[in-house]
Amino acid sequence: MLKVILGDLMDEKSLAEFALKHLDYTLLDAEADDEQIMEFLERASRWKPAAVCVLPSEVSRAKETLDPQIIVASAAGCFPNPNGDINQRIDDIKTAVEGGADEIDIVMDFEAMMDLRPGDARLTLEQLIHECKGLTVKVILETSCLDLEEMENAARIAIDCGADFIKSSTGRRGGCTPLVAEILAEIAQEHGGVGIKISGGIRTLSDLQNHLDSMENATQVTSLGPDRFRIGASSLLNSIEKILQK
Show which residues are catalytic.
Answer: 105, 167, 197
Question: Residue 72's closest CA among 92, 88, 94, 56?
Answer: 56
Per the CB < 8 A criterion, the answer to whether 232 and 25 are in contact is no
Burial class (CB in 10 A: 0-12, 13-18, 19+), 115: exposed
Per the CB < 8 A criterion, the answer to whether 96 and 59 are in contact is yes
Question: Residue 70's closest CA among 11, 119, 32, 21?
Answer: 21
